Every structure is written in C-alpha cells, then in structure tokens.
Structure 1
Amino acid sequence: MSFNVVDLPGVERTPRDPHAPRVLIYSHDTFGLGHIRRCRAIANSLVANYPHISVIIISGSSVISSFQFGDGVDYVRIPGVEKQSDGRYGPHHLNLDLTDTIRLRTDIIKQVVLSFDPDVVIVDKEPVGLRGELIPALEVLRRRGARIVLGLRDVLDEPTKLYEEWRHTGAIEALEQVYDDIFVYGLESIYQPLAGLPNQHLFADKIRYTGYLKRAVPSPMPPNRYPRITKGPFILVTPGGGGDGAGVIDWVISAYEADPTIALPALIVFGPFMSRERRKEFAERIARLPKLESLGFEPRLELLMNRAHCVVAMGGYNTFCEILSFDKPALIVPRVKPRLEQAIRAERADHLKLIDVLHDPAQNGEGARDPLVMAAALHALPKRVPPSQAFVPSLLDGLPAVARALADDLSMPVRGRILAQNAAVVS
C-alpha cells in the first residue's frame, strides 16, 4: 500500500460496490480550520489505501466546500456554530437559538448514521459531540456493531481544564463505555493528552499513539497566480484560520516597519476568519512595505508551505504537521487563550529542537510587543536547521498507522457486517 500520497486522486476510479466498507468521520468545527483539515487528511489517506471504500465527513465548517477531496470521499454540512467573544456558542448563520440549532444538528447526524450505516466511525476530538449532539447517533452505532474510534490531536489542553470541560458532558464515561479505540495523532514521548484524567485504567489499553499526520503537496490544478515574492525565497506567515491571528500578523508587519534590513520578504496569508476590518488595516500597512505581500485565503496552503523557505505561524496542529512534512525552519508564536494547546505543543517541540518558539508578551500580560524582537527572530529564522535534523523516530507515521489500525475493517472487499450475516444464514 502507498502511504505517502494522501492528496492525489487515482488515474481511474474504482468500480462502485454498495457492499464495500463505509467510514463516517464526525467533525464539530466551531472555530478555525483545524478540525476539517485533519479529517480531510485522514479521509483522503484512507481512500488512497483502500480505494473501494466510501467515506462521509459530517462537518459544521463553513468553508468545507473550498477543499479538495479524493474519489470516494464526500461530506454532509450541518448548520454551523461559532464560539463568540464571550466564550459562549451561537449559530453561525441561522436565526435560531443555540438549543434549536443543536437539536437540528443532532437530527441530521443521526439520520446520516441511519442511512449511511458505517462500519467505522472516527470522531474528531469531542467524545460526545458538541453539547452532546452525537449521543443519539453513538447509541445507534453501538447497537449496529460499528467500530467507534476517537481521534485526538497531540495536545488538547492542560489536564485540569480538560477535565472540567469533559466531566459534565459524559465524555469521560464515553471513553470507557462507547469507544473501541482512541487514536492520538502524535507521539507519547512528546505529550499524553489524556494524562491526568480519572480512571485511566478503564481506557488506557485503547490508546494508540500514531505519530503526526504527514501532508503532501496537493494534486495538480489550474496554475495559481501567487504574489511576485514567491518566485524567490520567502517567509510564509500563517495564522491558520485567522480568527485569532491578528497579534502575530501585527507583530510581523511591525518588524518590517522597524527594520527594513530583514533579508527575506514575507507573504502573509490572513485566513478566512480574520475580520474584514483587521484585514483592511493590515493590507494598507503591507502596501507600504516592498518586502511584504498578502493573500486572503488559500485552501491548498500546502502549495505555499512547500514553496516557502521558512515559516512563521501560531502553531496549531495542522500547521505544525505541515511544517514537519515539508521540513521547513519555523518560528512558532503560540496563543495562550482560550486554551494552552498551542503553547504546550510549541514548548515540547522547541525542547526537541524541531522549531523555535517566541512568546507574545501582549498575550502573556507582560507588556507590548517589541518590533525589534520579532525582527531579530526573522533575521535568524532562515539560518535555522530544518526539523528533520532533530531525528525524532516515527514522527510522521500517523496516516499509515491509522490505515494499518483499520485494515481488518476496510481491506475486505465486502463489509464485515454483510459477511457475518451471510455466515449466519449458511450455518
């Protein structure tokens, strides 16, 4: 099996078979791009390794249609929910209250489960879904004998905060009672996201550390018109979805304003969720600096990551995977609110010499950002060795590990449930 190509469609489409295995992936997607991009990478990898299967992604992402999926993968978009500035959730578009929106999402998810009848289900991050919306579907899946997998990124949050989030929802009980497997898309030696939760012995034997999810350059498409600075060495600056990335972008721009001798130019990609006001303000400042250019949103960011000489990023899970996959010297400026996920990951990665980390004093309550501090980091960045020189074993084995772990359910030409039914009839 080919495990490295995760984004290339086959030359010829595999013949359709209604009895072939089926996979359902759930992604609640309340903020940013991380969840849908992770689920997309897994889905594309599974159909690359098992071309006869079908995969449906259930997602609340408002930009899911911007992404490219392999043959055999489709998606169902449920009404979007977003986290507001006060930390509460609300509908993204609908003029409904949150309770009615969650009820609608719950009904759609359950109906997809009933109709699609998956053999394998991969739940991204939230064991019972947003506000428990997945519980009715999970009950159906248990009765039907589906294999239910919880997929977790390497870092969720500090243990005490994670426990507070999960203990009222039934998520911790679900680890023991509902899930057959818990895949952690990282390395145990870097971080153990469930460490510190109570009753570890009840689910510890289900945990499998896969390694990080390696990314590939997307398949050829009509040529993109990228800004002129991408024709030579440049720094890619990416805040992920951009909803909370204004700080790092402001700091980078101010560094170029304060120090015009920074050698490499930079391309800043705002992301789809940055506010129109902040984007306009940044674009006006960038227009006055010959070494800076910008883009709004690039769904195939891997193309730019592969082309860049080095990267400045906030350090979300997917961006971290891309930095490792394309072996780019990187400076991570992690956020610390509303959770410490990015800061924990950045500190562990810096300790292993995979990346450099620079903390934002404005986020940490330590004063204003100094443009010359960022300028010094940008001067040093192109001279940094790439992550591969840290020689961390099994670092990027995540996608092949997931494919191998699900081989018993997906490699057969006919669904396991169909085989079991036939065997019962014969006997």
Structure 2
Amino acid sequence: MSSIIDILIYAHDGRGLGHVSRSVAIGLAVRRLFPHLSVLLVTGCGSTAELIGDGELDWIKLPSYKTKILSGESCGDLGPSNIEDKVLGSIRAENISDLVDVYRPKVILADHTPQGKHRELLPAVEGSTYSKWVLGVRAVVGEVDKVWSELSASIFTKKYSDILWYGDSSVTGRLELDRLSSHFHKIPFETGYVSRFKELQKIVTDVCSLKKLAGVVSVPWSGDGTFALLEKVAEALGSFDISEGIWKVYMNHREPRVCDVKKFFESYPNICLEQLGPSFLTDLANSRSAVIYGGYNSLTDVMGAGVPSVVLLRGMKDGEQEEHAAALSKSLSAVVDIFPEDDVTVDGLRSSLEKCFKTNIDPFAISLDGAANAARYLAELAGVRDANG
C-alpha cells in the first residue's frame, strides 16, 4: 500500500508552546530543504497558525487539551470543546489512528513520549505496519514520569526505530543523552537545538534597525503566580523613562483573566500589549532586553536573537526549567539573571533589566541547527538522501 504523505509530525499539546514550536520548526525546515516532500503537522494547539506565521506548513487541528497547574503539577481541565480530559484522549486516539490509516505516512515523528498524551498514539502505533516511528525529545526532559516509564520504553522498543535529541551535549553535557540511551536502549541522534526563531528568520526580514525596543516580555501561558507577577512586571517596566524605548508584553489573549491583567499596563505609555505570534520574533531581534520563562522554546528564541534576558522559573515539580536554565547560564551571557516567579520583586526586576541594557553578548558556540538536522534525518528515513533529492 503506497504512502500519501512522506512525514507526519505529532505535537504534544495542553499547556505551553514549546512542544508545538519545536515541531513547527522541524516541519518548516523540511518544507524549506525538501520542498517536494509532503509534510503534515497534527496537534491540538490553538496557537499553531500564529507559530507557523508565513511559513509553508500545513496542519490538522485536533480538539485541544487544557491543563491547569496545582502545586507545581499539571492536571487536566476542560478545554475549548468542553469534553472531559480523559474522554478527549480516547476520541483523539481514534482521530490520530484514522489519520495514519488515511495518509499512510512513510515517517512519523512523535514529540515527547512514544505513547502520546493520555496514550493517544497507542492505537496508531500498534496498528501501523508501514510507517517508521521516530521519537523527538527536548534537551532536558526533567522528571516526567510518562517519559521514563516502563510503558514508554516498551512501546519504543517494539515500534520505534530512532530517537532525536534536540540538544547540544557540548553545553549541557552527556547526562541526558546517556539516560535516554539507557532507558530506550537506543543511542539518540543529537540534532542540536531546534530554533523556530532561526527558521522564521529565513521568512521574516522586516526587522526595524532605526530605534531598538527597550525589551519584550513573553508570557505564553498563565499559572498560579502569573497574575501577581504581571502586576510587578507592569510596575517595573513602567518605572523606566519612555526615552529608554517601548516595552512589548506578549501574552495569549485567549487566556482567562486577560482583561483583568490589561488594567495593570493601561496607565504606562511605554508599554504595549501584543498577541503571541510571529511578530514576537521580529520584536525580540530588535530588543535590548527580554523577560522570558525558562521553557525550551523561549530559551532558544533568546539564544537565536542574542538578546540579554531575565529568565523566570515556574517551579514545576519536573524540574526541567531549573535544570536547563542553570546549564545554559554557565555557557551563555544571554542568560543574565534567573528568578523563580514567586521571588520576583519590582526593584529586583528593574535592576536585572538595567543589567541587561549594559550586557554585551559574547559569541557562543552552541548548535541552533536542530530543525535542519532533524529535517535531513527524517528525509533520509523517507527515502531522500540530500536536499536536492
């Protein structure tokens, strides 16, 4: 039975944008390097179109998961479809299995876990006889039980052929690589960091060079401490004279309580609120500083842009952000200060941003070619050995 598409990319969704951003970057890289290949992204993330921007990548939207954070742990909540979390997992499992049956991809790249969120990949994995399954994982996984479970290892061993590691061992060391090798009994292919910024740089070229922004703030999703944090952020940014430049605060305007948050910023003429989207990367490249959370996607954005940044940590129990940010801060001058979000003060944030203004970014030898390297690897599995194919 012949394949309809070459590569299907599955992106985990539910809370942040990191998983989908990596998947988008890899999909864009495949389309750029191998324009004759057919690629399809499957996810429930409602912000996918904004993440793709003007890029050439088609995608299918599943009903979205939604998670809330309680005491540093994720738990399911009712999403936009108003379908209970576990029921939605069963429905999506059927959707994904049907898609695999219909499109018959040569290669399937699954993000984060071999079984998918709520095991929704299992029917497709177990029923597929013609697709090569590949797992892709971030540089620092963290203590995510579903990744390190016996079920995860068992599914990988039975049905998966390869694993891509989106990291750079020259920066983080080999501990995570060795742990993955031991757990999945397969040596991962080290791609380097997957940077959506770097891929979209090849599309977005309208970076203003006349007057730099004072900085950008990215809050892609809200948690328990976000409301209190944004009040402090507004006061700290508003304390700068407008001659220092404009601050742009990027948030998901679909989030609950956004209207309540807006009032924090209304009285400050040097602050603009923006919807998350491709314009963030343009503004980041044109900024003197940034305030970001310590997720993989945000860290690769500031690495790609070379912007001095204050990194905030959410205090999740998996410890991924803390471990990753700490490892990068040893090698990258772009990470100026790191704060748990609950410890941020107005004076402390202002002081850190002033430090950013005075920081010159040293050249750093970190691989940000992960999207292109992953694209080439997947293309070869699909039967294409070079970009001229």
TM-score, normalization: structure 1?
Answer: 0.78
Amino acid at match of 1:349: L
TM-aligned CA distance change 1:78 to 1:407, over 3 Å: closer
Identify the residue that residue 284 of structure 1 maps to in structure 2. Answer: 263
Identify the residue that residue 147 of structure 1 maps to in structure 2. Answer: 132
Amino acid at match of 1:346: A
Q: 2:3·2:105 contact (CA, 8 Å) conserved in 1?
A: no
More strand by share: 2
Identify the residue that residue 15 of structure 1 maps to in structure 2. Answer: none
Residue 92 of structure 1 pairs with residue 79 of structure 2: yes
Identify the residue that residue 370 of structure 2 maps to in structure 1. Answer: 398
Which residues of 2 match residues 258-297 of structure 1 at below 5 A? 263-272=244-253, 274-276=255-257, 279-297=258-276
C-alpha deviations, 1:337-372, integer Å up to 9, x for none? Answer: 243222222111111134335344563xxxx54311
Q: 1:128·1:135 contact (CA, 8 Å) conserved in 2?
A: yes
Distance 2:278 2:214 in 1: 19
TM-aligned CA distance change 1:198 to 1:271, over 3 Å: closer
Distance 2:162 2:281 in 1: 30
Q: CA deviation at 1:333?
A: 1.7
Q: CA deviation at 1:318?
A: 1.4
Aligned mate of 2:152, from 153, 171, 174: 171
Residue 41 of structure 1 pairs with residue 25 of structure 2: yes
Distance 2:194 2:296 in 1: 9
Q: CA deviation at 1:243?
A: 5.3
Which residues of 2 match residues 5-404 of structure 1 at below 5 A? 22-66=6-50, 67-68=52-53, 70-71=55-56, 73-86=57-70, 87-141=74-128, 143-144=129-130, 146-157=131-142, 161-162=143-144, 164-166=145-147, 170-191=151-172, 194=176, 200=182, 203-205=185-187, 207-214=188-195, 215=198, 216-217=200-201, 219=203, 231-242=211-222, 245-246=226-227, 248-257=229-238, 263-272=244-253, 274-276=255-257, 279-360=258-339, 363=342, 369-386=344-361, 389-393=362-366, 395-404=367-376
Question: Gapped runs of 5+ residues in structure 2?
Answer: none
| Secondary structure of 2:170's aligned partner | coil
Q: CA deviation at 1:218?
A: 6.2
Identify the residue that residue 12 of structure 1 maps to in structure 2. Answer: none
TM-aligned CA distance change 1:411 to 1:328, over 3 Å: farther
Distance 1:154 1:283 in 2: 34
C-alpha deviations, 1:214-258, integer Å up to 9, x for none? Answer: 32336369x99x9xxx95432111123455744553332232455
Distance 1:259 1:327 in 2: 22
TM-aligned CA distance change 1:251 to 1:346, over 3 Å: farther
Distance 1:33 1:167 in 2: 22
Distance 1:83 1:336 in 2: 16
Q: CA deviation at 1:185?
A: 0.9
**What is the RMSD of the two structures over their aligned residues, measured on CA atoms?**
3.2
Distance 2:146 2:372 in 1: 31
C-alpha deviations, 1:170-193, integer Å up to 9, x for none? Answer: 112233332211111111233357
Most deviating of 146-155 and 253-262? 253-262
| Secondary structure of 1:165's aligned partner | coil
Q: CA deviation at 1:40?
A: 1.0
Amino acid at match of 1:382: F
Question: Gapped runs of 5+ residues in structure 1?
Answer: 1-17, 414-427
Amino acid at match of 2:96: I
TM-aligned CA distance change 1:153 to 1:300, over 3 Å: farther
Percent identity, please: 21
Distance 1:194 1:173 in 2: 19
How many residue pairs get aligned? The number is 375
Q: CA deviation at 1:319?
A: 1.6
Amino acid at match of 2:58: D
C-alpha deviations, 1:132-166, integer Å up to 9, x for none? Answer: 1101111233x22x221111111121xxx33x334
Distance 2:290 2:180 in 1: 38
Distance 1:384 1:265 in 2: 19
C-alpha deviations, 1:69-103, integer Å up to 9, x for none? Answer: 644x3212111111134432134123433333112
Most deviating of 259-268 and 231-240? 259-268
Distance 1:262 1:360 in 2: 27
- Kindly name which structure, 1 or 2, has the bigger radius of gyration based on alpha carbons: 1
TM-score, normalization: structure 2?
Answer: 0.85
Q: CA deviation at 1:274?
A: 3.8
Q: 1:315·1:334 contact (CA, 8 Å) conserved in 2?
A: yes
| Secondary structure of 2:8's aligned partner | strand
Distance 2:282 2:348 in 1: 29
Q: 2:148·2:183 contact (CA, 8 Å) conserved in 1?
A: no
Most deviating of 129-138 and 310-319? 310-319
